[in-house]
Amino acid sequence: MDNFATKYDAILKTDLFLVTPPFTQLNTPYPATAYIKGFLNTKNISSTQADLGIEVILALFSRKGLQKLFSQENGISVKAKSINAKRIYALRNEYIKTIDAVIAFLQGKNPTLALQICQEDFLPEASRFTQLEELDWAFGSMGTQDKGKHLATLYLEDISDFIVECIDQNFGFSRYAERLGRSANSFDELYGVLHQEYTYMDNILMDILESKMAIIQPKIFLISVPFPGNLYAAFRCAQYVKQHYPEVKIAMGGGFANTELRSLSDKRVFEFFDYISLDDGELPVELLHQAVSNVGAFHLYKRTFMLENGEVVFKNDALRNDYKQSDVGTPDYSDLPLDNYISVIEIVNPMHRMWSDGRWNKLTMAHGCYWGKCTFCDISLDYIKVYEPVAAKLIVDRMEALATQTGQNGFHFVDEAAPPALMREVALEILRREISVSWWTNIRFEKSFTRDLCLLLKASGCIAVSGGLEVASDRLLKLIDKGVSVEQVAQVTRNLTEAGVLVHAYLMYGYPTQTVQETVDSLEMVRQLFEAGVLQSGFWHQFAMTAHSPVGLYPEKFGVMKETETIGTFANNDINFIDKTGIDHDKFSYGLKKSLFNFMHGICLDYKLQDWFDFKIPKVTVPFDHIRKSLKEESKFNTKPTAKVVWLGGIPETTSFAKSKKGQTFESMVLTFHDKKETFTIQTSKAEGEWLLTNLPKIAVINMKVYTFQDLKTDFEASMEHFELFWYSKPINTLRDFGLLVL
């Protein structure tokens, strides 16, 4: 009892309650509140955080939750509902009986259940399971744990389908009422819905929120809204707090506000929120805390909307600069129920599943984008435009701190595009410290990703990358100002794949002036990339014009016209436009996505592209071997003098011997290396072998000092001649295949 009282007293003193509203991800926390909490720690400002999404999911998908869901008292009527809903309702006792065990299994707490799940007579099955018959032959035999996760995911999706049909049409695992938040130029519809009675999901959410507010009683209730699918729940939470805790100030920040609410003018929004801040949150939140803590004093604000004298005003009067990335602290995941997140496998593709399977600590290598030119992107906004990398040592310090705090050594760097040079330094730092981590990130497919850099990244624990191929057309890539070509993308994906790094490509269709022929040819390029085995996963997005991108700012340059110039009073980001080509790009959506789904599972690569569409498409103009011809080998005979040389292997065993030929005796040496996978040997002259024995430890990756090609050449030629002949010889080429890297 005393321990509880101590904890209760401590929580009462919390200044900020940081909340992520439903729903983001099931498998890992969205990192925004952890970033803010980490910063507040550096200022000795107390805070508590909660991911209301995972808590609502766990309350709903529990024995008690399903008993309530399926109870007749909730007014569920399955009459006139689909056959699928009737089947699920008829099997409700089976769902209630199995749900707690399945959730524990997906949390990693009940691994032996996989054996029972995989026998396929344990879980009740509805419509989601019909796809198994179609795909079993393609997937082959999955591991028991993975197959169990996949079947359990289908089981949850069946229940989700029932909820959408019979309980709450807005329900979704990673979004909620997303339609109300997407491109809501007017606040009218959302405002109207917020004055209706609570939905079934609202009641669950408010019960959880009340249980926390009653204990925490913060000065500021801070809601991070990353996506349109979080907006409705964010307003519902703010509405509840405003009604029941009127003394608490309520603020919003996050990705949705940063992109959608930059021209906010609707007064009604401030019936729910006291403040809405834009862009980097650290300084705005610190100033809000000062304003709330020092009532009556004169206050300055940073990029913050509020209501003043009955009018919406935007205050940006604090002259202080935003905090440097080195000063914002390490994200702090305390307060979040890290052991309770759920790993699901919707698609068994090994790369695609990473967004929903496994616990990932989220970090960034750099603020903003080092490229910052893509014409579809919001490059005029500070979160993209202001590029500031974090020092490699500090990044790895943060990785080690988070691994200790969370007990997880998996990291997802959520950069706009991680800089290759910084990725190299981070990889070297990880290897120097001899720590074991797994990490993945988003990149540009640029030529800096050489074979050797990809091998280094893999050695440091990089398991996957995602990157924007966008439109697989050189004309459109130039119009996008992507700075890459299809050929270059193919070569980089080859380098990554051969190093053992999985590759996901973001793909786009419907870009301004894109022709039907270019859409078809792009699909053929994508097919050839999968056929060549250099791409493992992808996703098609239809182009959307945004207000802060070059296309949105200067549409006439890209052959499109805005449908209206009117600026709404609420959300303003997505812009309806007219493409002068007059092409209906929507009709390609199903065929593009269906073909890609099959390609990701290694099937149907020999289908004609026409087979994916129910309307006539033009013939492909791309040569059938275009990608294969692009995959020419990188030359190993072009080492720059300034290139860094690093050795990932160990110290060899040696054997010396002498050979006589035509009366001359030659001393030779055999060096035997033990790689993690195999043992191999090289043979050199004794002098060259001794030079290697001296220099391999110097260039070993664990050393702080890094040697260049020129350094090695100078050292070699102090006692021998013709370093290039030695460097490009067979023994060194063998070492190049086993961890001698030129960076």
| Residue that the structure tokens 């702090």 belong to | 332
Looking at the DSSP bridge assignments, the partners of residue 253 are 224
- Give the separation between CA 252 and CA 238, rounded to whole angstroms: 9
* Cβ–Cβ under 8 Å, residues 499 and 455: yes
Residues 6+ apart with CB under 8 A from 390: 325, 326, 364, 365, 366, 367, 422
Q: Is the peptide bond before 23 cis (omega within 30 degrees of 0)?
A: yes
Looking at the DSSP bridge assignments, the partners of residue 363 are 413
- What's the predicted TM-score (pTM) here? 0.92
List pLDDT tens digits, range 97-144: 999 999 999 999 999 999 999 988 999 999 999 876 555 554 555 688
**What amino acid occupies position 344?**
V
Q: Is residue 323 within a helix (H) or strand (E), and if so which, with residue range?
A: none
| Model pLDDT, residue 5 | 39
List pLDDT tens digits, range 159-185: 999 999 999 888 988 777 666 666 568
| Model pLDDT, residue 195 | 96
Task: Select from 528, 481, 510, 640 the least CA-distant residue to 585.
Answer: 510
- Give the separation between CA 378 and CA 125, rounded to whole angstroms: 44
Query: Residue 497: what are its φ and ψ, rounded to 5°?
Result: -65, -45
| Model pLDDT, residue 600 | 92
* Cβ–Cβ under 8 Å, residues 443 and 466: yes
What is the strand order of the sheet 502-509 is part of? 361-363, 410-413, 438-443, 462-470, 502-509, 537-542
Domain 343-630: CATH superfamily, name plus number: tm_1862 like domain (3.80.30.20)
- Give the separation between CA 206 and CA 141, rounded to whole angstroms: 43
- Residue 584 buriedness (CB in 10 A; 0-12 / 13-18 / 19+): exposed
466-486 burial by CB neighbour count: b if 16+ within 10 A, else e?
bbbbbbbbeebbebbebebbb
- Give the separation between CA 508 and CA 3, rounded to whole angstroms: 55
How distant, in Å, are the alpha carbons of 252, 283, 284, 382 from that of 263?
A: 15, 21, 18, 15
Q: In angstroms, how far is CA 275 from the centroid of its own chain?
A: 28
| Model pLDDT, residue 9 | 46
Instruction: List strand residue ranges (DSSP E) for 516-613, in order.
Output: 537-542, 545-546, 560-562, 574-575, 577-579
| Model pLDDT, residue 270 | 98
**Per-residue tokens: 324:** 């440097």
- Planar angle of CA 133, 135, 139, nearest 5 degrees: 130
What stretch(es) of the chain map to CATH 3.80.30.20? 343-630
DSSP character at residue 700: B
**Per-residue tokens: 438:** 């797994």
Q: For the chain, list residues with pLDDT below 70.
A: 1-13, 72-80, 132-142, 177-184, 565-566
Instruction: Say whether domain 2-54+176-320 belongs to CATH 3.40.50.300.
Output: no
**Per-residue tokens: 641:** 């003098």
What stretch(es) of the chain map to CATH 3.40.50.2300? 2-54+176-320
Instruction: List strand residue ranges (DSSP E) for 534-678, in order.
Output: 537-542, 545-546, 560-562, 574-575, 577-579, 644-647, 653-661, 664-674
Tell me the chain's radius of gyration from C-alpha atoms: 29
